[in-house]
Structure 1
Amino acid sequence: MKGLRARYGASPLHLLLVLCSFFLAVYAGVRLLEGDTLGVLIWFVGAALLHDLVFLPLYTATDRVVQRLFRHRHRRRTADPSAPVVAGGINYVRVPAFVALLLLLVWYPLILRRVPGFTLYTGLPSGQFWDHWLLITAALFAASVGCLLVALWRTHRARPRSEDPPSPQKAP
């Protein structure tokens, strides 16, 4: 076991899970390409080009604007050198925004009411998906704010207080 861990760099369970995920991806690819192979390949190439040429520059520019806003506010606010700093504060905005946008991307036909006969098949009203997505997005950002507050509290608590007087030393 130690030889495998030394050569591979992780546990045998990790190797097993990676191999299982590869086999699952190959199985899904084979099943997907059994039908309209050309259509699937065109869709993959189109999605890659759309991502690389449109979405990547768009969300990179958005991320840089948000980083500048946070950096500017942090510089202005931190005139006090003893103010707590949380490393990676931008991630408290990035993560919930990413998950919310990913949910929107996956479920957009239902969220934006693009599936006309959905109510007939399931009996669920089609208008509820927009409301549920908004509630999930609000919950994600609320959880992120909670995590940020806990990180700030832990940083503040771990920092030694500078206003405490030093303990008097006894004379010999």
Structure 2
Amino acid sequence: MRKSLGAVRRFYGANPLHLLSLIACFAFIGYLVSVIGPATLWNHDVWWQSIVVWFVAAVIAHDLVLFPLYALADRSLTAWPWARHGDRPRPGVPPLNYVRVPALGSGLLLLVFLPGIIEQGRSTYLAATGQTQAVFLDRWLLVTAVMFGLSALLFALRVSLSRTRSAPEPERAVEPPPGAAEER
């Protein structure tokens, strides 16, 4: 059994459970498409509003544009002077995740609330809620600033705690025991 699993892993390049989960996901997607019908995924009136077109555009935009951009940004963060000291990693608190986490949160909020931020569907939103979308951009910028500010505070706190823990204690003068001077 182990030999056959090893052979599958060498041939496939990953754990057989990975292949099984991919097959299950593709089967589920096939089932969904068969239930809702392929015609549902295509808008015959306005082709560019079709789910298929948006899905393909999202895959292309992510894989060909966004992924190289944020991979480059992450690579530049890891190559920054604080990340390395000579040939080895710099001791101390690495700031990498203190930049990554708020950037990820900000990017996800932008992705979710982009239609409101760019005021898409302005009249529909106004009719449904009686409010404008003018506050979306301001609130997204405020939340982004708060996330980066909290991350900076946590980083500063962690750096100060690591410095106090790793600071060498000053050498104390060794006092002779009482009566030792009299013995000389």
- Which TM-score band applies after superposition, normalised by the shorter structure? 0.5 to 0.7
- Determine which of 62, 65, 74 is the counterpart of 2:76: 65
- Alignment of 1:49 onto 2:56: no
Q: Deviations over 1:90-124 (max 9, x none)?
A: 22111111111111111111011122211221122
Corresponding residue for residue 147 of structure 2: 140
1:30/1:73 Cα in 2 relative to 1: closer, same or farther (>3 Å)?
closer
Structure 2 residue runs without a partner (length 5+)? 1-23, 43-49
Q: Deviations over 1:32-55 (max 9, x none)?
A: x72623543443343223211111
Q: In structure 2, how many angstroms separate the alpha carbons of the residues matched to 1:153 and 1:108? A: 37
Structure 1 residue runs without a partner (length 5+)? 1-21, 76-82
Q: In structure 1, how many angstroms separate the alpha carbons of the residues matched to 2:97 and 2:120? A: 32
- Matched residues, number: 137
Q: CA deviation at 1:72?
A: 6.2
What is the Cα-based RMSD across aligned positions, in Å?
3.5
Decide whether the 8 Å contact of 2:122 with 2:132 is kept in 1: no
Q: In structure 2, how many angstroms separate the alpha carbons of the residues matched to 1:122 and 1:91? A: 38
1:46/1:126 Cα in 2 relative to 1: closer, same or farther (>3 Å)?
closer
Q: Normalising by structure 2, what TM-score?
A: 0.60
The answer to which structure, 1 or 2, has the higher relative contact order (CA under 8 A, 6+ apart) is 1
Q: How does 1:1-172 map to 2 (within 5 A)?
A: 30=32, 34=36, 36-37=40-41, 39-68=50-79, 70-71=80-81, 85-87=92-94, 89-117=95-123, 118-162=125-169, 164-166=170-172, 168=174
Q: Mark the structure with the bigger radius of gyration.
A: 2
Q: Normalising by structure 1, what TM-score?
A: 0.64
